Amino acid sequence: MAAVPARRRGLVALARRETARVLKLWTQTVAAPILSSFLFIVVFGLSLGTRIDAVDGISYDM
């Protein structure tokens, strides 16, 4: 039964280390994917938005 607390301690240590790593590089791990997704939506929304027909009277760009 002593292995369970040791595993939990290892899991907590790993989670803390990975959280610190993500927060240290937040521009690469958080901001970059958000910006990339936003640009993808904007570019394809502007380029394809005029080609998509209205559905039930609601246009794509509403």
Would the pTM count as exceeding 0.95?
no
Work out the percent of the chain whose per-residue pLDDT is above 70: 90
Q: What is the mean pLDDT of residues 18-41?
A: 92
More confident of the two residues 5 and 24: 24
Cα separation of 56 and 14, whole Å?
Answer: 50
Q: How much is the pLDDT for 40?
A: 93
State the chain's mean pLDDT as an integer: 86
Cα separation of 13 and 9, whole Å?
Answer: 6
Residue 14: both structure tokens together: 């790993």
